Chains A and B, each alone.
Chain A
Amino acid sequence: MRRASETAAVSSKYSPGSLLSVGHLSVAEVSAILAETARIAALSPAERSAILRGRTIALLFYESSTRTRTSFELAAKSLGATTTLVSDKSSSIEKGESLKDTGLTLRALGAECIILRHSASGAPFVLARETGLPVLNAGDGMHEHPSQALLDLRTILNRLHGADKATSITEHSLSGVTVTITGDILHSRVARSNAMLLPRLGARVLLCGPTKLLPEDALGLGPGIEIERDFDRALAKSQVVMMLRIQKERIAGIELDLNEYIHRYQLNSERLLASAPQALVLHPGPMIRGLEISDEVADGAQSAIEEQVAHGLAIRSALLARALSAGIFKGQTI
């Protein structure tokens, strides 16, 4: 099995605190992250800020991202860490300097962990290999966004099973749960991470979208994944529906009739009421209201979109504690 060998190989090649792909996490590790998330969330701000006091974390952002960057930054600060932001917006990424050299510079300046957002798939692997530091993948190209999948998992568990059940999981925690992911699957790192993570906890994942945005190759992401192109039929089977935006910046060369797309794939009140009146609605953001999701649904009672943001902060705190062997991960070697 590839997964087993991957997990074994990872420990030797990458710092164990790294999170590059959800495929690198065992179910037990996911469970530990959720437990730490709940524990940190229950602490007082003062207790929380002792966890990473005196530690230094770098945020290296080659792509702009308000949501993810702010979330990681606030998480690090709430744990008492010192953060430094290096982004392409500031002039601090030296023009033409390689990722490797930028990483080595950050390490020399004292960074103990690097959070990386990059437009190239696989970039966090390069950074982790070259620096030996724990690297958290904050989104790489069209590949993965592991922290997003973990926060989505916590959101789903909280809503479906209650907060007390969201602290420990097994291979069966999501048995009987069907999650539909609809939209631009091809370009979505969120879709990949969720489609690889949720089935390992027993969920069935239905991918939905037109062929241009959802090729059959997507089935190769792993077991427990199906393609259902009829959105209404997918909704009728689902307890959770996750909507994705169309990534205009990556879509060059693909022609898409937006009216047709909206007609077939927009999540709006009529559709939700008709096919999935109880389903939980998720969206990783940024949303394009009126395109993949309507206003009423985004702000409606079934929407957990704001909770996702809150859970993001909590999950990322736990990931940082794990990266730096703090909290319940204390004593684990980096």
Chain B
Amino acid sequence: MNDILILNGRLIDPLSRVDALRDLLLRDGRVAAVEMPGTLKGQESAQTIDAKGLIVAPGLIDVHVHLREPGQTYKETIATGTAAAAAGGYTSVVAMPNTLPVNDTPSKLDWMLDAQRGSVVKLFAMPAATVGSMGETLTDFEALRKAGAVGFTDDGKPVLEDHVMRAALIAAARAEVPVSQHAEDTRLTGGCSMNAGPMAFRLGLRGMPIEAEARIVERDIQLLREIERAEGLRPHLHVQHVSTARAIEAVRKAKREGLHVTCEIAPHHFALNEEAVGDYDTHAKMNPPLRAESDRLQMIEALLDGTADCIATDHAPHAPFEKRQEFERAPNGITGLETALGLALRILHRDRGLPLSRLVELMSSSPSQIVSLAGRGSLAAGHYADLVLFDAGAEWVFDATISRSKSRNTPFDGSPMLGKVRYTICEGHIVYRG
């Protein structure tokens, strides 16, 4: 018997509209019962967790992670990346396709999702939208969807050509999954390594203008409009890692218009601005880059007012030797799975008053809906027993040296965090205890 009884916790389950003390019984990987405190006391179970003082929430879901396997296992493996996910309170992650080789066929997708890879949490994947992520020929959306694809993306690069993006949106609409777009007009960002502006000028670095992001978001929204009109389809555009006020404004307007647009914001884009580059700190180098303070504040506004649908880490591990070089040569990206909740609780909840239920929405229920993960993102009876139990008031400091990730490339080493994960439970199994 693998039952787990969770007593005395504060259950926050936005999809069930519950924010109250509840006891839960987990059985056979599912939520068997959710009851008023005291009701389940007599139940027999192999294990009882006293969750007094803890938040009990549906496990966090990250729709944007890079696990580097196959091909770059010196940076991360599916096993180490998902171990980091579990430590961060995540029970489901969606792997990006920019592996070596690119994940663009059903057999590569099968290989990635195979239990042999040793994923610690539930692993999903978005295969490439175009063959080899070269931006030219669409992959076989139908076959990939059947093999488990939860969306399509060429992340790391945009789908740049209008007609290719249009075809991708149409094919994805038929497969009923989103196209997840890395919005960057690469014709404007060649040789660029940080945000354009006075800081880039002072450091002598070429800067990525905000137009590079905004133009692609605006173009994609226009494509949605045209496709709805001409094809009678309702494609779903998911905008990855929005970083500029102008792009978030475009998303806001498109939502008002009724188009099917969702978007994610990465923790570093609400936690840091371009000043973090400091004296060429490559741990502050990512794509899209850290932006101006006004952009950062707009990302927080978007998370508060509902324009942003979810928080996604863009977890992007790199080996030390890759980051310890010239700023312009160092690869983009930082790890993020173990710091997302701590940053969100500190910056959004404590400092800006974001309700905990809204935070759970941003990190679990909403991402589960974006990529249609049936039975996840909620703890109603019958759903998967994917849970995170955390102490929302615990203050701690992140120490990168004890990260579960294979890599240490984070600007948050030594940063204060709020909210400590005590248990992560995936399909009824405790996958992390803190």
Binding site for B on A (CB under 8 A): 6, 13, 20-21, 98-100, 118, 120-123, 125-126, 130, 140-144, 186, 189, 192, 215, 217-221
> Which stretch (B22-30, B94-102, B196-204, B214-222) binds chain A?
B196-204
> Which stretch (B73-81, B123-131, B321-329) binds chain A?
B321-329
Tell whether, in the assembled complex, residue B205 and residue A215 are in contact, meaning their CB atoms are under 8 Å apart.
no
What are the residues of chain A within 8 A of B329 when measuring CB–CB? 120
What are the residues of chain B within 8 A of A20 when measuring CB–CB? 279
What are the residues of chain A within 8 A of B280 when measuring CB–CB? 121-122, 125-126
Tell whether, in the assembled complex, residue B324 and residue A121 are in contact, meaning their CB atoms are under 8 Å apart.
no
Tell whether, in the assembled complex, residue B326 and residue A143 are in contact, meaning their CB atoms are under 8 Å apart.
no
Tell whether, in the assembled complex, residue B197 and residue A217 are in contact, meaning their CB atoms are under 8 Å apart.
yes
Tell whether, in the assembled complex, residue B201 and residue A122 are in contact, meaning their CB atoms are under 8 Å apart.
no
Question: Beyond A126-B326, A130-B324, A217-B198: 14 further Cβ-contacts under 8 Å?
Answer: A6-B279, A99-B325, A120-B326, A121-B204, A122-B205, A122-B327, A123-B326, A125-B279, A126-B280, A141-B328, A142-B205, A221-B198, A221-B201, A221-B202
Tell whether, in the assembled complex, residue A100 and residue B204 are in contact, meaning their CB atoms are under 8 Å apart.
no
**Chain B 302-327 near chain A by CB (<8 Å), digits 1 or 0:** 00000000000000000001001111
What are the residues of chain A within 8 A of B203 when measuring CB–CB? 121-122, 143
Cα distance, A269 to B280, chains bound together (Å): 42
Tell whether, in the assembled complex, residue A126 and residue B204 are in contact, meaning their CB atoms are under 8 Å apart.
no
Cα distance, A122 to B278, chains bound together (Å): 11
Cα distance, A13 to B279, chains bound together (Å): 11
Tell whether, in the assembled complex, residue A215 and residue B201 are in contact, meaning their CB atoms are under 8 Å apart.
yes
**Of the residues A21, A120, A215, contact of B327 by C-beta under 8 Å:** A120
**Of the residues B197, B325, B328, contact of A220 by C-beta under 8 Å:** B197
What are the residues of chain B within 8 A of A142 when measuring CB–CB? 204-205
Name 27 A/B residue pairs within 8 A (Cβ), A-sorted.
A6-B279, A13-B279, A98-B321, A98-B325, A100-B321, A120-B327, A120-B329, A121-B204, A121-B205, A121-B327, A122-B204, A122-B327, A122-B328, A125-B279, A126-B280, A141-B205, A141-B328, A142-B204, A142-B205, A144-B204, A217-B200, A219-B198, A220-B197, A220-B199, A220-B201, A221-B201, A221-B202
A225 to chain B, nearest CB (A): 11
What are the residues of chain A within 8 A of B196 when measuring CB–CB? 217
A124 to chain B, nearest CB (A): 9
A209 to chain B, nearest CB (A): 13
What are the residues of chain B within 8 A of A219 when measuring CB–CB? 198
Cα distance, A77 to B203, chains bound together (Å): 32
What are the residues of chain A within 8 A of B200 when measuring CB–CB? 217
Interface centre among A13, A143, A221, by most B CB within 10 Å? A143
What are the residues of chain A within 8 A of B279 when measuring CB–CB? 6, 13, 20-21, 122, 125
What are the residues of chain A within 8 A of B327 when measuring CB–CB? 120-122, 126
A94 to chain B, nearest CB (A): 15
Known: A120-B329, A121-B280. A126 touches B201 (CB 8 A): no
Tell whether, in the assembled complex, residue A192 and residue B202 are in contact, meaning their CB atoms are under 8 Å apart.
yes
Tell whether, in the assembled complex, residue B204 and residue A189 are in contact, meaning their CB atoms are under 8 Å apart.
yes
Among residues of A, the one whose C-beta sits closest to the C-beta of B193 is A121
B366 to chain A, nearest CB (A): 37
Tell whether, in the assembled complex, residue B326 and residue A99 are in contact, meaning their CB atoms are under 8 Å apart.
yes
What are the residues of chain B within 8 A of A220 when measuring CB–CB? 197-199, 201-202
Tell whether, in the assembled complex, residue A120 and residue B328 are in contact, meaning their CB atoms are under 8 Å apart.
yes
Known: A100-B324, A120-B329, A121-B280. A140 touches B197 (CB 8 A): no
What are the residues of chain B within 8 A of A125 when measuring CB–CB? 279-280
What are the residues of chain A within 8 A of B325 when measuring CB–CB? 98-100, 126
Cα distance, A21 to B329, chains bound together (Å): 20
Among residues of B, the one whose C-beta sits closest to the C-beta of A101 is B321
A249 to chain B, nearest CB (A): 13
Cα distance, A20 to B279, chains bound together (Å): 10
Cα distance, A331 to B199, chains bound together (Å): 36
A187 to chain B, nearest CB (A): 9
Cα distance, A144 to B198, chains bound together (Å): 15
Interface centre among A121, A186, A192, A220, by most B CB within 10 Å? A121
8 A-B pairs with the lowest CB-CB distances in the bound complex, closest first: A220-B198, A143-B204, A122-B280, A142-B204, A121-B204, A120-B326, A217-B201, A217-B198
Interface centre among B199, B204, B321, B328, by most A CB within 10 Å? B204
**Chain B 323-359 near chain A by CB (<8 Å), digits 1 or 0:** 0111111000000000000000000000000000000
A321 to chain B, nearest CB (A): 25
What are the residues of chain B within 8 A of A98 when measuring CB–CB? 321, 324-325
What are the residues of chain A within 8 A of B321 when measuring CB–CB? 98, 100
What are the residues of chain A within 8 A of B202 when measuring CB–CB? 192, 220-221
A215 to chain B, nearest CB (A): 7
B328 to chain A, nearest CB (A): 5
What are the residues of chain B within 8 A of A140 when measuring CB–CB? 204
What are the residues of chain B within 8 A of A21 when measuring CB–CB? 279
A222 to chain B, nearest CB (A): 8
What are the residues of chain B within 8 A of A221 when measuring CB–CB? 198, 201-202
Cα distance, A143 to B199, chains bound together (Å): 11
Among residues of A, the one whose C-beta sits closest to the C-beta of B275 is A2
B185 to chain A, nearest CB (A): 15
Among residues of A, the one whose C-beta sits closest to the C-beta of B279 is A125
A213 to chain B, nearest CB (A): 12
Tell whether, in the assembled complex, residue B326 and residue A118 are in contact, meaning their CB atoms are under 8 Å apart.
yes
B11 to chain A, nearest CB (A): 45
